[in-house]
Amino acid sequence: EDAAGQENFDRIIAKDSRVEPKDWMPEAYRRSLVRQISQHAHSEIIGMQPEANWITRAPSLKRKSILMAKVQDEAGHGLYLYSAAETLGTTRDEMMDALVAGKARYSSIFNYPTVTWADMGAIGWMVDGAAICNQVPLCRASYGPYGRAMVRVCKEESFHQRQGFEILLELANGTPAQRAMAQDAVNRWYAPSLMMFGPPDDDSPNSKQSMAWNIKRFSNDELRSRFVGMLAEQVKVLGLTLPDDEIRFNEDTKKWEHGPLDWEEFKEVLAGRGPCNAQRLERRRSAHADGAWVREAAAAYAAKQAAKQSS
């Protein structure tokens, strides 16, 4: 209990200003931020895998170098996000241990397989597109280090989205087989990308408090609806279709609507039973174990430098 601290915190939130690492904050606020930011960081790191799967099979040198840069950007996003979470008093080791132990969440979307090159297009266009819709409002999140990290992340995601769209555009205007491959990828990634926004509002336990704390600015359904509207317009440019004939703009509510989503599938993925959950975790575990010598060497070097300075 810290009455003055609480008062200061309430004032910051009421003014829609920013909470900084050294400010007093309620424990529940801290915990919820660590939860969201660490999940977000894990998503970026696990999210490298589905696209890394195609680096060695990219159809040209140019595509390969773009894809490599994109996957490296995701690593960078993970690192800023772990740093932002560390300012709340959780160490990176603790977060990483939770991830490799299978105790931490990361986005459902990265548990789906990337079976063709067109999936690189669909991920850029739809998955990075959904990430942008969700993250632009997070640039105004009340916790300073998180909001500031989101600014740069969103700039990079915009480039990622364009590169994905351009892959699909080229395939859609290619041979009939390429066009079919693009359509198939859009069909498979559509529903999982809509589910990235989280459960429907009446089944979203964290939303209300997160919105009261100015972390989230819009509800899951609100952002999902905006995203569907964006896809519905852009798919026309691709000359492809979305696998949902219930998409429409509701003139009364001024919102985009879509057909039903399979929330049972979403729950299965969250419970660790999605198509690639086991594979993604196993890959992360082995990468973490293979990197142990680098961490040890870096720690030994840092200790040596510190000893030199103090002598």
Helices (DSSP H) in 53-202: which residue ranges? 61-86, 92-100, 118-122, 128-135, 144-172, 176-195
Residue 135 or 179: which CB sits closer to ligand FAQ? 135
Say how many C-beta atoms besides its own lie within 10 A of residue 236's C-beta: 10
What are the angstrom distances between the C-alpha of 180 and each of 74, 116, 151? 28, 11, 36
d(CA 261, CA 91): 37
Closer residue to ligand FAQ, CB minimum distance, 135 or 183: 135
CB of 306 to ligand FAQ, least distance (A): 35
Contacts of 309 (CB under 8 A, 6+ apart): none
Nearest to ligand FAQ of 40, 258 (CB atom):
40
In degrees and rounded to multiples of 5, residue 22 shows phi and psi of -85, -10
Nearer to ligand FAQ, 70 or 179 (CB): 70
Q: How far is the CB of 61 from ligand FAQ (least distance, A)?
A: 22
What residues contact 87, with CB distance under 8 A and at least 6 apart?
21, 145
Residues engaged in binding ligand FAQ (CB under 6 A): 35-36, 39-40, 43-44, 47, 74, 105, 107-108, 123, 127-128, 131, 134, 195-199, 204-207, 210, 216, 220, 270
Nearer to ligand FAQ, 197 or 256 (CB): 197
Tell the smallest beta-carbon distance from residue 2 to ligand FAQ (Å). Answer: 26
Of the pair 210, 225, the CB lying nearest ligand FAQ is at 210
Tell me the closest approach of the beta carbon of residue 190 to ligand FAQ, in angstroms. Answer: 14
Q: What is the dihedral of CA 229, 232, 234, 240, to 10 degrees?
A: 160
**Residue 49 Cβ, how far from ligand FAQ at the closest point, in Å?**
9
Q: Is 249 helix (H, G, I), strand (E, B) or coil?
A: strand
* Cβ pair 214, 140 in contact under 8 A: yes
Instruction: Please identify which residue in the block is written with the tokens 């099979």.
Output: 57
In angstroms, give the least distance from the CB of 171 to ligand FAQ: 19
Query: Which residue's beta carbon is nearest to the bound ligand FAQ?
Result: 47
Other CB atoms within 10 Å distance of the CB of residue 73: 19
274: tokens are 């999605």
CB closer to ligand FAQ out of 92 and 217? 217
* Least distance from ligand FAQ to the Cβ atom of residue 7, Å: 26
